[in-house]
Amino acid sequence: MKKTELIAKLLEETSLFDTKTHKLYIPDVSTCPFHVYGIQIADFSSVSLEEQKEIFRGEENLTQYALERFAAPGACSDNRMGFYGFDDLRKTEDMDDTEDDLMVLYGQFLDGYVEDGNSLDTLVTEDMYAVSVLEEK
């Protein structure tokens, strides 16, 4: 997917899955009041493909699974999620939760993702990943 498509998905609060690193990137959004805190990062490398298939066959998806079973970022736990926060960027850039500002923040997240040696080519929406997992034999 292109960077602009990925940003649009994040704006829709759609989680993205990296098919190479097996990490799920979940927009951390509060609805009352509306505020985007950043991206929670769940590592699914230790969750077998069979277990992932069972998750998708049930009534859950990986986002629900991660939020219910992985410890929150900052918690004292071995399987806690990582976090990419936006608050420091907001302070230095004087940004808010407008769509334009969120596009910039999500764009900066994706730029840093690539700078860390990752490829946008391996990022797909969670739904796209679910289809590929369930089709795999």
137 pLDDT band, cuts 50/70/90, is low
Task: Note the pLDDT tens digit of each residue in 28-59.
Answer: 988 888 888 999 999 999 999 999 999 998 88
* pLDDT for the residue numbered 90: 77
What do you get for the CA distance between the two ends of the chain, in Å?
A: 25
Q: Per-residue confidence at 66, pLDDT binned at 50, 70, 90?
A: very high
pTM above 0.75, yes or no: yes
On whether the CB atoms of residues 26 and 66 are closer than 8 A, the answer is yes
- The pLDDT value given to residue 94: 75
Mean pLDDT of 70-76: 76
Percent of the chain predicted with pLDDT > 70 = 97
